[in-house]
Amino acid sequence: MKIICQTCHEFVEDLFSDIAERSGKHSSGTGLHVIDFIGELRYWHDFQDEVEQVLAKVEWENYQHPVTAYIETGDVYYREHFLCGAEISSSARFISNVLNPLTGVANILGYPLYFGDWTVTVDKLKWPVLTLANEQDKIFTGKPGTITETEGKARAIGEAKHPWGTLPDANIKQALKGDKEGEKLLRRFLGQIARDMWAANLKYAFMTNYRWTVFLRREFSDGKWTLYHSDAIKHDSKAQHRDHTASISVRQCVLFTMIKVASSNPEDWSTNESRRGPLSTWVYIAPDKKEGTEKTTSSNLYLSRVQGERGLFSEGSIALANNDLPGKGFAAGKAPELTLPHRSFSTTQINSSNQEKEPTGATQESLKGKGKTAESTDKQGAKGKGKTAGSTDKEGAKGKMRAIESTDKGSSKTTRSTGSLQK
């Protein structure tokens, strides 16, 4: 039996396993809110170089002791076993494989920053638009006493969705080639996190569906606020330093973000609220509709085509919750909207004392059904079989949220949570 020990450096450069799942037994739709990013969007072309340059300054030779270990074959903790079929479980696995251990690594390296959920921050996101549903913001705060003037303040924000129904890697590649449908899907994928970056006045963020993670930077460039996006980094990408085949890992990118926001100067991670511009020029938020929104659009056909080319989702079509920009709607039929609760993350400096805890407020409207502990299948128009644990029903909602997985009924609404992270 061979035991593999890893130092901080080795762990950060390593990949993490894909989620375990059962074919066809997962949430439908995209899990995205009907929010489109409409501001200036640019490709962060030197993102990988910047990550490598920042991490090269870390004195890794001073941290040669093992921080984790696993059995080469058969280690039950090094492989995924928990079957994921909903956003709550895939998000939890991302926390377990990336955010939780990297918080430990960052502390060992001397960066007193912590990933946490929305209750650990003093911040509360606000925007002058009627939201689609009740919001939960999740944030990343600093250690008490490290930066006293920003104690408990968010430094960066992140958002996690389930991996079924979105292909950010394909969207980015197509958008860079001038494909309009690819760009539309990318702007929808980034819509909610872009809004939350605006609301929290933060420069850095990430958006993940577990399998792919996109890193973001918000800057005032050429007289306008601009959102820069990286390539989509895959979960199984490892750090490679060979010429022409260099690659970086998701963990490297997350640690890079933590280091960028560790500065005691708020200007390094926060934007100026007085000059951030109106939200209406940054994102378009569709009105809250009780009867559902458009789902069947040409974007569905685009996603199906890309999935077909990659041999993905062969057992059925993926329904997208699409609502295009004003004046640019697709010719499409309407169907009851089927959306899912989601989780998000952010980075802040934790204030271990005097932390105010707010109710989670996770809600879904007009949901019916019975709880089911293990698995349930989401289908458009089908009756729900369960809901996530610990949520509160509002506005005529019925039933109880139950553990593990949930099935949303066609007329259900989305709960929202947020996180943040900025350069």
Q: What's residue 259's pLDDT?
A: 96
> What would the mean pLDDT of 380-385 be, rounded to a whole number?
42
3-state SS assignment for residue 288:
coil
Q: Which residue has the higher pLDDT, 168 or 411?
A: 168
Asked which of 20-29, 117-126, 265-274, 402-411 is least confident by mean pLDDT, the reply is 402-411
Res. 261: pLDDT tops 80? yes
Res. 371: pLDDT tops 70? no
Q: Residues of the chain with pLDDT > 90: what percent?
A: 50
Res. 289: pLDDT tops 90? no
Residues paired with 225 in a beta bridge: 220
Q: What's residue 154's pLDDT?
A: 84
Per mean pLDDT, which of 176-190, 265-279, 384-398 is the most reliable? 176-190
Res. 13: pLDDT tops 80? yes
Q: What's residue 151's pLDDT?
A: 65
Mean of all residue pLDDT scores within the chain: 73
Q: What's residue 110's pLDDT?
A: 94
Res. 54: pLDDT tops 90? yes
> What would the mean pLDDT of 115-137 be, rounded to a whole number?
61
Which token pair is 199?
A: 């609301």
Residues paired with 369 in a beta bridge: 384
Q: What's residue 166's pLDDT?
A: 96
Residue 183 CB neighbour total at 10 angstroms: 17
Q: What's residue 88's pLDDT?
A: 94
CA distance 278 to 286: 16
Domain ranges of the chain: 3-421
Q: What's residue 296's pLDDT?
A: 36
Per mean pLDDT, which of 112-116, 151-155, 316-320, 396-400 is the most reliable? 112-116
Band (354; pLDDT cuts 50, 70, 90): very low
Helix (H) or strand (E) holding 168: helix 168-176
Q: Residues of the chain with pLDDT > 70: what percent?
A: 59
CA distance 120 to 348: 8
Which token pair is 356?
A: 């105010």
Band (119; pLDDT cuts 50, 70, 90): confident
Q: What's residue 343's pLDDT?
A: 38
Per mean pLDDT, which of 5-19, 66-80, 350-364 is the most reliable? 5-19
Res. 159: pLDDT tops 70? yes
Are the C-beta atoms of 235 and 52 separated by less than 8 Å?
A: no
CA distance 338 to 295: 9
Q: Which residue has the higher pLDDT, 48 or 375?
A: 48
Q: Which residue has the higher pLDDT, 413 or 101?
A: 101
Res. 406: pLDDT tops 80? no
Q: Which residue has the higher pLDDT, 349 or 77?
A: 77
Q: What's residue 127's pLDDT?
A: 64
Band (246; pLDDT cuts 50, 70, 90): confident
Are the C-beta atoms of 126 and 322 separated by less than 8 Å?
A: no
Nearest to 256 by CA among 84, 113, 45, 416: 113
